[in-house]
Amino acid sequence: MKSPTSYNQVVVFFYRFRRVIFSILLLSFYSLSPTTASANELKFYATDYPPYDIKQHPDGLKGYDVDIVEAVLKQAKIDATVSFLPWKRIMAMLASGQATGAVTCGKSPGRESFAYLSDPISQARVAIVTSSDFEGMLQSIQDLHGLKVIAVTDWVTERELTAANVDHGTVRSLEIGLNTLAHREVDAFYVGWESAQYLAQVLGYREKFSYHQVTDKEPVPFHVCFSKLWPGHQNLAKRFNTALAQIRASGLYDRIRAKYE
């Protein structure tokens, strides 16, 4: 039979051990919590959306939005880079405060509750892409009535066609849409100009297409969306905007863009 002294020592050891385990678990919880994230753990993300954001390029190019954002961060002396993830995951992380910012992020009513927008870093024009020998004037979405038109499923451009009551088909991706147009299965592809033009060049379709600017639609600005749950997000955005203006004034912004022309 154990003596009272031995029994008491076991009890004391048990309670001390339990307190140590509880402290370790508590520390782990707070270290993973986005609300206690250190300023040295800034997390910026982009998705694969050439030429703005390029996940893989044979020459190591990251896309002009990613290059611009990383140049701005360096100018502002903010220690961070941009990583790539699927867009839906980025938005979920931004909304929960697990990401600092999302690159190439447009203004959207659904994002206003959790996203704080930087000054614009780039923009996207809307284009009506046709075969190069297409005859006719296309300047408005209304000009698409009577044509065989496609758009990418669930993209803003597809929703615009629906809102304008323009009959259209859909494709799953930008590449499929360009291939469909190149094979003359449709008359027009309603899509973002810059992304379509870049990918068409990569696919060898540079001379096959003409791009008609939609003149009654303003270009859509892209921003960095900062998470409103990230500590100090407003101050961080202010530093970002100041550095962005500085690289524009120095000419670095234009030199970065020129690499992709």
- Domain borders along the chain are 37-123+220-258, 126-213
- Number of residues that make up the chain: 261
Rounded Cα distance, 214 and 27, in Å: 55
Residue 28: count other Cβ atoms within 10 Å of its Cβ. 10
Give how far Cα 250 sits from Cα of 63, 169, 246, 253, 256, Å: 20, 45, 6, 8, 12
Give how far Cα 215 sits from Cα of 63, 109, 134, 155, 248, Å: 26, 24, 18, 20, 26
Residue 7 has pLDDT above 80, yes or no: no
- Residues 103-159 have pLDDT tens digits of 999 888 889 999 999 999 999 999 999 999 999 899 999 999 999 999 999 888 998
Cα 100 → chain centroid: 12
Contact 203, 129 (CB under 8 A): no
Q: What value does the mean pLDDT of the chain take?
A: 86
Residue 15 has pLDDT above 80, yes or no: no
Rounded Cα distance, 188 and 211, in Å: 10
Helix (H, G, I), strand (E, B) or coil at 161: helix
pLDDT of residue 58: 79
pLDDT of residue 40: 52
Q: Please give the CATH number for the structural domain made up of 126-213.
A: 3.40.190.10
Rounded Cα distance, 176 and 167, in Å: 19
Question: In the structure, how many helices (H) and strands (E) does the chain have?
Answer: 8, 11
Tokens at residue 169, please? 């088909």
Would you say the CATH fold of 126-213 matches that of 37-123+220-258? yes
- Residues 166-216 have pLDDT tens digits of 999 999 999 999 999 999 999 999 999 999 999 999 899 989 999 999 988
Residue 37 has pLDDT above 80, yes or no: no
Q: What are phi and psi of 211, to 5 degrees?
A: -115, 120
- Residues 73-91 have pLDDT tens digits of 999 999 999 999 999 899 9
Tokens at residue 3, please? 């003596």
The top-level CATH class assigned to 37-123+220-258 is: alpha beta
pLDDT of residue 35: 40
Residue % of the chain over a pLDDT of 70: 85
Contact 119, 105 (CB under 8 A): no
Tokens at residue 223, please? 């921003």
